[in-house]
Structure 1
Amino acid sequence: MKNMYADLTSKLQLILSEVDQCAITMDGWTSRANDGYLTVTVHFINESFELNAAVLSREKLMDPFNHNAENIAASVRNVLSKWNLESKVIAIVTDNASAMIKSLIHEVSTRWNSAFKMVERILATKEFLSPVLSLSRAPDPLTANDIELLEDIQTILAPFDYVTTQCSSSSKVTCSLSVPLTNGLVEGLNDQFGRLKTVNGQQACRFLQDKARIRIFPFEERSTARLATIMDPRYKKEGFRSPFNAEQAAVLLERSLSTNMIAGGDAEEGDPQETAVEPPVTPNAAEPLPKFLFSNIEKKKDQ
């Protein structure tokens, strides 16, 4: 096993030595013994323009009992140093979600969409839960009001489930999705509000709308996200909420192309390669992106 590990490590080091730029994702969790663990995965595009991913490390933090930012940063730097990637990393994505998919779906505070999956499972099995909850020592059975509230929560969280699932792929580039998907999410919450039946559901929707605006709208102002969105033929300027940000993205793209042309000179001749573009999906209440794009196009038609 050690020989196999050493052989695979050497092969990966050789591959990564030929990579100019890469991104890493990090996943942290804590064991029952309170030891802190960290998994670091590298993502890169090879010479054949194929997206690849490889796990660099799945080990305890340098100080297993210290979960602060400084210790995590030091642990990450240590991993990157071992693989000679310190100067090649251009993007880092991190979260505290568990990678383990369990057969029994329940809410996990550190796992994306776990609350939505839990509510979805409860509503799907509510007819079978009622007899069980009527037994002695069982929790109180769900009332009609409880069911309505759970249905509201399912309605509110469905777009979040769609967005995070679309953005969580490790086999295809998803950077260009961040701006249009998150903008569609905010508008989707506005549409969902009218379908809610309970006051608590409406309050939860408003709360998520406010938080989403604070955390999501700044994505349009980030250079990498701007370039990725405007270069994606599915979205271009229609993927932006703000016309100003769309124009700034176009200016940024022109400057980047001009700089690269000056630095690189004439491009080498070669056979053009076709890039497959995924077709748009049919919109529904849980998929906010298509409706957001269609709305932007309709606004331009009316102008």
Structure 2
Amino acid sequence: MVGKRYEEAKEKAKEKLQQVVSVSLTSDVMWTSINMEAYLAVTCHYIDGEAKLGTILLGVEHFPTTHTAENLALAHTKFMEEWGNQDKAKCLVTDAAANMIACVNLLNVRHALCIAHSLNLIVRKSFDEVPGLAELRAKCRKMVTYFRTSTTAKETLAAVQKQMGRPVLKMIIEVDTRWNSTFSMLQRLYVVREPVGAALASLRTDITPPTSLEYATIEEAIQVLAPFQQATVELSGEKWVSASKIIPLLKMLSHTTQTKTESLTTHMARQLGANLVRRVIDRSLKAEAITVMTMPTLLDPRFKKLGFLRPTKLDEAVTRLKGNCAEIIRNTPSSTPPQQPETSQSTDNSKC
């Protein structure tokens, strides 16, 4: 029954793709099963006849071969041929791995970097550059792991929260490859810091909670990271346009992070904020030089020229846009029929 339903759904999805003019693909080869087997996932994005965004998962297949550009290109070609969109694929969104970039070059399609992945790298590298912050994060993770794996600790924390008249909230553990999971872990830990301290006092464990100064650092780190969490969610949506938002969001992130950093009091949080600002500005300048990102921003009536950080990059983008428009006009045949010279008869009729 499952196989039959799958084939029915697949045929309906193929019918939808046959009606669209072009598609964009998103690829990720980082999926790993519990048996440590690698999988390749390819998703297709398109705009239907009603101008609505649509998404279809083309497949998640076991990828046992080495992750070379050639093998990746063959796997993507197989997906596109199977779904009949090899001539419709205009862009492939991937991470910044060298093998993925080389794969896109072999496929001869436009390449776009995943900005959510770029934000993940920005936060991770900014974290690692702050002395002591990684140790504090590891300390928090150890304590969270204890409350998630110990039944006694979990029940004790729930009981303490009930006694305090608070909602029973579970601890959240981070995932190494997703920075926003670290944000969620620290945010939840800060919310339940008092019940956690009371629970640890009644448990037989050598785990110690963060100090008041460490909690202050966590609080300010959450403040400076909150805009990055919002930007990640905004850029990860499937039902709304995100390409035109990339440049404005990077500009807003740099401005907001710099403003928040000025009001921070703990040393580690201030250094984290400074690292984030520097890396966001660098990422923003690179984005403003990429046509696939500048064109949507200029053409979006909500942003146009407002989202750019550097005037020189804006001028370059406007020049490219004008050049593209001029080329389209030159290559578009005129729809106005040539005028015929007037005759004396047509002149007389016009007078009448």
From 141, 144, 168, give the equivalent of 2:209: 141
1:212 is the counterpart of 2:280: yes
Distance 1:136 1:261 in 2: 77
TM-score by length of 2: 0.68
What's 2:338 paired with? none
What's 1:50 paired with? 52
SS in 2 for 1:239: coil
- Distance change in 2, residues 1:58/1:143 (3 Å): same
5 Å matches for 1:242-257?
242-257=310-325
What's 1:108 paired with? 175
- 1:13-46 deviation per Cα after TM superposition (whole angstroms, max 9, x unaligned): 2322332221112343212211001221100011
Higher relative contact order (CA closer than 8 Å, sequence separation 6+): 1
- Distance change in 2, residues 1:201/1:78 (3 Å): same
Distance 2:328 2:235 in 1: 28
From 311, 317, 327, give the equivalent of 1:259: 327
Distance 2:334 2:207 in 1: 72
- In the TM superposition, what is the alpha-carbon distance from 1:171 to its structure 2 partner? 0.3
Amino acid of the structure 1 residue aligned with 2:235: C
What's 2:187 paired with? 120
**Structure 1, unpaired ranges of 5+:** 268-303
Q: How many residues align?
A: 262
Distance 1:149 1:217 in 2: 30
- In the TM superposition, what is the alpha-carbon distance from 1:93 to its structure 2 partner? 2.4
5 Å matches for 1:249-288?
249-265=317-333
From 28, 33, 36, give the equivalent of 1:34: 36
Distance 1:129 1:69 in 2: 48
SS in 1 for 2:293: helix
SS in 2 for 1:29: strand
**Structure 2, unpaired ranges of 5+:** 96-113, 118-169, 336-352
Q: Residues 61 and 71 of structure 1 are in contact (CA less than 8 Å); yes or no, is this contact kept in structure 2?
A: no
Q: Residues 42 and 54 of structure 1 are in contact (CA less than 8 Å); yes or no, is this contact kept in structure 2?
A: yes
- Distance change in 2, residues 1:15/1:264 (3 Å): farther
- In the TM superposition, what is the alpha-carbon distance from 1:201 to its structure 2 partner? 1.4
- Distance change in 2, residues 1:129/1:68 (3 Å): farther
Amino acid of the structure 2 residue aligned with 1:162: Q
Q: Residues 285 and 310 of structure 2 are in contact (CA less than 8 Å); yes or no, is this contact kept in structure 1?
A: no
SS in 1 for 2:15: helix
1:131 is the counterpart of 2:132: no
Root mean square deviation of aligned Cα: 2.5
- Distance change in 2, residues 1:77/1:133 (3 Å): farther
Larger Rg over CA atoms: 2
SS in 1 for 2:204: coil
- In the TM superposition, what is the alpha-carbon distance from 1:257 to its structure 2 partner? 2.6
* Stretches of 4+ aligned residues off by more than 6 angstroms: none
What's 1:184 paired with? 252
Amino acid of the structure 2 residue aligned with 1:21: S
What fraction of aligned residue pairs are identical, expressed as a percent? 28
Point out the more displaced range, 175-184 or 88-97: 88-97
What's 1:80 paired with? 80
SS in 2 for 1:119: helix
1:6 is the counterpart of 2:73: no
- Distance change in 2, residues 1:35/1:69 (3 Å): farther
Amino acid of the structure 2 residue aligned with 1:219: A
Distance 2:84 2:316 in 1: 35
- In the TM superposition, what is the alpha-carbon distance from 1:82 to its structure 2 partner? 1.7
- In the TM superposition, what is the alpha-carbon distance from 1:67 to its structure 2 partner? 4.7
SS in 1 for 2:43: strand
- In the TM superposition, what is the alpha-carbon distance from 1:266 to its structure 2 partner? 5.9
